[in-house]
């Protein structure tokens, strides 16, 4: 398609106009990623977390693709300013009352408005001048359209009552009106795609909803047995390595917590790295579930930890990253190579291959920590070294966990509160976190 648009038709976007529209996509994608991270710990099942971790990672990647194109259109000069016109809309977006309203907001309201805008944008931009923007739009379209279809299926399966559907539609209308007030997705002067917009005054209680707050409890309703910390239960010691993947089930929640509480002005690569890590962790958990089942173990023989979340909530972001990447993940790597050897000796190629792919991901996670911890320390003018952050993060985590264990009448293991010296301490893969 080589149609020619002309400024006389009012159909041609100049470079500056395209840049303005892309900045709006960027702000919305980033806000979507953060909102989904904030809501992640409220998702009631691992099944939902598995899909949603992928979605929030794709939003971070989408923001990065858009940012790259914005920089190109600035002739390589950056950084660029984010628009403020969408602030009211984006501020209200996370304030959903429950899961159905959240799904309707993220996917059927915001992502649907984005998809409508991409279609409008594709119709209007010159396919020769601006082909690189078209590449970005087609990438965004593919995943946003898939996710909208996914959300429609999820909502359909919930068999919502008529009153709930009406309440959700009212909230969607309120958000659509806020978006229309901000000029729609594309901005003032460009055809706004805001169907079903209702006056923002339709129900004053919408505007009075308080800011979103993270929960203090997390749930895994589809796991047959939950536990305080890693709990291999009846899984034999030889297979603790396979269980170790299942017990990572809450690590994506930790990563989403870190992203949610990170300053917005960190480089987009930081958010891409940490959301990639969140997506990797739900894959690792799924690998663990699949292999445990293939080996004939049942998930009610071992625990899915849900109480570490409370300890993480009390830690600082830098301690969380230090503990996760420089203690938990860094210390898990050596033991994994021994297990590959052991499984191959027993002709268990599947378990060995699982660990090989995991090492590829986990080495990346340790590198993310090594890259971003010094950056965060520098921003905070914090004189500590990365090593000290690992020691402090480990102490903070274990101190909070000791309180949680005590509150549940559980003993604190010997040496649990000792200072972190190095990875030699980790003998059992199920205890690497």
Interface ranges with Fe ion (CB under 5 A): 248, 281, 284, 329, 362, 365
Instruction: For Fe ion, give the closer residue by CB, 96 or 278.
Output: 278
CB of 281 to Fe ion, least distance (A): 5
Instruction: For Fe ion, give the closer residue by CB, 144 or 329.
Output: 329
CB of 237 to Fe ion, least distance (A): 20
CB of 329 to Fe ion, least distance (A): 5
CB of 384 to Fe ion, least distance (A): 23
Strand partners, 226: 304
CA dist list (Å): 328 to 320, 331, 380, 390, 419: 10, 6, 24, 10, 14
Instruction: For Fe ion, give the closer residue by CB, 144 or 362.
Output: 362
Where are any strands of DSSP class E within 221-346?
Answer: 226-227, 304-305
CA distance 82 to 75: 17
CA distance 272 to 66: 13
Instruction: For Fe ion, give the closer residue by CB, 171 or 246.
Output: 246
CB of 190 to Fe ion, least distance (A): 42
Instruction: For Fe ion, give the closer residue by CB, 116 or 362.
Output: 362
Instruction: For Fe ion, give the closer residue by CB, 187 or 288.
Output: 288
Instruction: For Fe ion, give the closer residue by CB, 198 or 286.
Output: 286
Is the distance from CB of 433 to CB of 240 less than 8 angstroms? no
Instruction: For Fe ion, give the closer residue by CB, 262 or 326.
Output: 326
CB of 252 to Fe ion, least distance (A): 9
CA dist list (Å): 408 to 28, 247, 303, 315: 42, 19, 15, 20
* Percent of the chain that is helix, strand, coil (3-state, to 5): 65, 0, 30
* CB crowding 136-160: b at 16 or more within 10 Å, else e: bbebbbebbbebbebbeebbeeeeb
CA distance 283 to 366: 17
| H or E stretch covering 155 | helix 131-157
CA distance 290 to 365: 22
CB of 426 to Fe ion, least distance (A): 15
CA dihedral 138, 140, 143, 149 (to 10 degrees): -90
CA distance 41 to 196: 30
Task: Determine the longest span between alpha carbons in the chain, in angstroms.
Answer: 78
CB of 39 to Fe ion, least distance (A): 21
CB of 325 to Fe ion, least distance (A): 8
Instruction: For Fe ion, give the closer residue by CB, 229 or 281.
Output: 281
């Amino acid at each position: 398609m080589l149609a020619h648009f002309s400024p006389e038709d009012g159909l041609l976007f100049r470079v500056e106009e395209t840049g303005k529209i892309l900045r709006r996509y960027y702000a919305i994608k980033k806000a979507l990623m953060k909102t989904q991270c904030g809501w992640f710990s409220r998702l009631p099942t691992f099944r939902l977390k598995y899909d949603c971790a992928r979605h929030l990672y794709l939003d971070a990647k989408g923001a990065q693709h858009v940012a790259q194109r914005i920089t190109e259109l600035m002739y390589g000069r950056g950084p660029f300013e984010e628009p403020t016109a969408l602030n009211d809309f984006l501020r209200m977006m996370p304030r959903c009352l429950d899961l159905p309203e959240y799904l309707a907001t993220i996917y059927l309201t915001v992502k649907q408005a984005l998809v409508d805008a991409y279609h409008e944008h594709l119709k209007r931009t010159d396919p020769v001048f601006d082909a690189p923007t078209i590449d970005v739009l087609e990438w965004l379209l593919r995943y946003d359209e898939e996710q909208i279809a996914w959300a429609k299926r999820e909502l359909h399966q919930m068999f919502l009552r008529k009153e709930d559907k009406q309440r959700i539609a009212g909230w969607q209308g309120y958000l659509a009106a806020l978006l229309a007030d901000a000029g729609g997705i594309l901005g003032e002067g460009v055809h706004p795609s805001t169907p079903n917009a209702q006056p923002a005054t339709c129900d004053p209680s919408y505007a009075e909803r308080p800011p979103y707050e993270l929960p203090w409890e997390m749930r895994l309703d589809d796991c047959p047995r939950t536990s305080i910390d890693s709990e291999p239960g009846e899984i034999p010691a030889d297979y603790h390595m396979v269980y170790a993947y299942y017990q990572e089930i809450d690590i994506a929640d930790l990563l989403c917590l870190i992203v949610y509480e990170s300053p917005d002005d960190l480089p987009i690569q930081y958010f891409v790295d940490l959301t990639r890590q969140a997506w990797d962790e739900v894959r690792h958990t799924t690998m663990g579930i699949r292999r445990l089942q293939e080996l004939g173990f049942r998930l009610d023989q071992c625990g899915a930890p849900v109480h570490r979340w409370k300890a993480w909530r009390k830690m600082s972001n830098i301690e969380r990253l230090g503990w996760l990447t420089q203690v938990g993940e860094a210390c898990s790597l050596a033991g994994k190579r021994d297990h590959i050897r052991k499984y191959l000796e027993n002709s268990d190629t599947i378990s060995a291959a699982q660990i090989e792919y995991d090492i590829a991901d986990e080495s990346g996670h340790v590198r993310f920590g090594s890259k971003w911890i010094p950056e965060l320390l520098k921003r905070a003018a914090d004189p500590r070294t990365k090593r000290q952050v690992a020691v402090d993060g480990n102490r903070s985590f274990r101190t909070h966990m000791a309180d949680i264990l005590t509150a549940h009448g559980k003993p604190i293991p010997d040496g649990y509160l000792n200072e972190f010296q190095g990875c030699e301490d980790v003998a059992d893969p199920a205890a690497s976190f």
